[in-house]
Amino acid sequence: MIKRTRIANQSTVLEFILMGFSDDCDVRHLHFIMFLFIYLLALTGNLLIILVVFLNHHLHTPMYFFLANLSLTDICLITTTVPKSIAVSLTDNKIITVPGCVAQVFLIVCFTCSEVSLLTIMAYDRYIAICLPLQYSLILNWDACNQMAVTSWVSSLLYASLQTVLTFQLSFCGPNTIGQFFCDIPQLQKISCTDTKVNQIVIWIIGFIVSSFCSGLVFASYVYIISAVLKIQSTEGRCKAFSTCIPHLTVFSLFMATCLFSYMRPKSLSFPIIDLLSAVSYIVVPPLMNPIIYSLRNKNIQAAVWKLTLKKTNKQTNPNLI
C-alpha cells in the first residue's frame, strides 16, 4: 500500500517501492541465491585483503595501503545495496522508507566517488613506482598517503551530501515505484513531480570535471608507464609491469564508463534492462572482481595469505606453539 501524507491538496510519498525484481517466486529465489553468493564472496575476498595487509608488515607500503582502502570501499559499496535486495527477494517486501532511501543515495554516491578517487590514486602510485622508483619513498611518504586517503574520503562525503540534499529537495507526490533494486538518483528524478533540470546540470558539470580530471590523470600516468616499460630490456620485467598495470587500467575504465553511463546518459537510453545491467556493473561487479584481480594475480598477497594460513594451522595443531 502506498503511504502518503496530504498537504495543501498535494500528496507526499512516505515510502518507495523498489523494482528490478521478478514477481515469479522461482526467479526471486534464484536471485536470492545468486546475490547471496556474490555478496559473501565479495565480503570474504575484500576482508581477506584488509586482514592480510594489516597483519603482514611487509605489505605496509603505499600500494597496499591504498589497496586496503579500496577493499574497505568495496565492502561498504556492496553492503549498501545487495543485502536489501537479498531481503526483498526472500520476503517479496519491496518497500523502502524515505529515510532508508536517503541513506542509500548518500552512501552509494559517497562510496562510488571514493572508488573513483582511490583508483586514480593507485594509478599515480604505479606511475611513481615505475617511472620514478628512486624518488618513490620521498614522494609517497606516509604523510602524503594519509593526506590523499583523507582527501578522497572527505571530498566523497561532501559530494554525496550535495547530491543527497539536491535529490530530496525534489517533491515526490505521484508514483512511488523506483525502477531499480536500490534508490538510484536517475530513477528518483524520473518519478519526481518537480523540475529536475538543476539536479541534472549539477550532475553533468561535476561529473564532467571529475571524470576529465581522474581519467586524464590515469591515462597520462599510463602513457608514461607504458613508455617506461617498453624501455625495460628484460621480457620478464616488461610482463611483470604490464600484469600489474593492465588489470588496474581495465577496472578503472569499466567502472568510470558504467558510472558515467548510469548518471549522465540521455533519458532516451533509459530502459529497465539497461538500467539494471549498468547498475550491477558499478555496484556489484567491482567489489566482486577487485579482490580476484588484485589478490590472485599478486604474488605478495598470495604469499601473505599462505603464511597466515600456515600460521593459523600450526596454532590449531600445536596450541602451545608461540
Predicted confidence (pLDDT) per residue in 34-49, tens digit? 999 999 999 999 998 9
- Residue 7's DSSP bridge partners are 10
Q: How far is CA 150 from CA 43, 82, 91, 105, in A?
A: 23, 26, 39, 21
Check: CB of residue 47 under 8 Å from CB of residue 75.
yes
- Of all residues in the chain, the percent with pLDDT exceeding 90 is 33
What pLDDT was estimated at residue 6? 43
pLDDT of residue 313 exceeding 80, the answer is no
For the record, the C-alpha cell of 12 comes out as 507526499
Out of 57-66, 115-124, 232-241, least confident range: 232-241
d(C-alpha 200, C-alpha 232), whole Å: 47
Q: What pLDDT shows up at residue 1?
A: 44
112-146, pLDDT tens digit by residue? Answer: 999 999 999 999 998 998 888 889 989 999 999 99
| pLDDT at residue 207 is higher than 70 | yes
**Closest listed residue to residue 305, CA positions, set 41, 39, 73, 53:** 53
What pTM was computed for the model?
A: 0.86
Distance CA 232, CA 86 (A): 49
pLDDT digits (tens, 9 = 90+) for 169-203: 988 887 788 888 899 898 898 888 888 888 889 99
Residue type for position 315 = K
Region 281-310: mean pLDDT is 79
- Three cell numbers written together for 245: 598495470
Residue from 130, 89, 113, 106 nearest 223 by CA: 130
Top pLDDT among 264 and 128 is at 128
How high is the mean pLDDT of the chain?
A: 84
